[in-house]
Amino acid sequence: MMALSQHIIVSLLRVLALGGTLAATIVMVTSHDSFHFLGFTFVANFTNSPTFKYFVAVNALVSGYGIIVLFIHPNNLGARRVLLVSDMVVTLLMDSSISACIAVGEVGKKGNNAAGWLPICGQVSKFCGHVEGAIFAAFLASLLYFLILFYSFHTLLNNFYTLKS
Amino acid sequence: MMALSQHIIVSLLRVLALGGTLAATIVMVTSHDSFHFLGFTFVANFTNSPTFKYFVAVNALVSGYGIIVLFIHPNNLGARRVLLVSDMVVTLLMDSSISACIAVGEVGKKGNNAAGWLPICGQVSKFCGHVEGAIFAAFLASLLYFLILFYSFHTLLNNFYTLKS
């Protein structure tokens, strides 16, 4: 039902996406920086923000999913429909975690005058660098998931076309 | 190709989703509050934050899209595929704008100790109420878009099944 070349393309995209989500998780978890001010030590860590914790949770979860589906090659149409819907949910989760991180990261980088929130990336640049790297890796992974979604959707429909004609 | 009952269900979902995105846009645009502190007046407005501006842009864009597609009822399969992919992009955009808003809204409500960002919702509660309302309306709309996506996907595939048998 599903050609070998389609299997190979989707598997390759999945391996790359898995690399992206794993990298995003590791880079975010290892983000750590501190600075001293008036005798106090401030520590920047991903656990300080619920948004960054959510990002790590989503990327770790999607990495687990990415490993499992590498071994699943459904041949019947029902199972391929289920896989396509779960890929859609994964893409939405990735999209959500990246957008949330960019929004908070933007405040960290530029601050917000109206709210009186000062930028912090000048003080904890190593931390901000990690966050940026993690967002970039997750963004690449989510693009790959979008490609997988798009490709699976069209091959699934084209298989129907082939059956029809 | 597409049954009348399917048309009616999808159109109904689209009208409800349009109501949600329109409400989200209007409620966010009309959010406005101010407070006085040490002789200064601070004004809270959606234009103060790039995240809230992005939210308004996405919801206004999706509202426009929602109006246009109400008048489009493609009967051929190619056009239905294109519509499904554009619904997917719209769902991703909504998901992204809501997640970003929730992330920044959470900082507004609870602040962030590690970054030294104080909560502001105590001072501008009217503004925060509007933001919460707008997020809620957009969330309902994005759930409806997910339903539309899910339903269109399955009816599209089932039509193929019917053709096949």
Instruction: Closest CB to B107: pick one of A43, A104, A153.
Output: A104
**Is B109:B119 a contact under the CB 8 Å cutoff?**
yes
ipTM of the complex, rounded to two decimals = 0.89
- Judge: B154–A81 Cβ closer than 8 Å, yes or no: yes
Q: Are A155 and A76 in contact (CB under 8 A)?
A: no
Task: Give me the sign of the Cα torsion angle A77, A161, A8, A134.
Answer: negative
Chain B positions in Cβ-Cβ contact with residue A45 (cut-off 8 Å): 114
pLDDT digits (tens, 9 = 90+) for A35-66: 777 777 777 889 989 999 999 999 999 999 99
List all residues of chain A from 15 to 54 with a beta carbon under 8 Å from chain B: 42-45, 48-51
The pTM of the full predicted model, rounded to 2 decimals, is 0.91
- Cα-to-chain-centroid distance, residue A132: 13
Per the CB < 8 A criterion, the answer to whether B156 and B137 are in contact is no
What does the pLDDT look like over B86-138, one tens digit per residue?
Answer: 999 999 999 999 999 999 999 999 999 888 899 989 888 899 999 999 999 99
- The residue of B32, B80, B160, B163 whose CB has the most chain A CBs within 10 angstroms, and thus the best one to mutate to test that interface, is B160
CA angle (B133, B135, B138) in 5-degree steps? 110
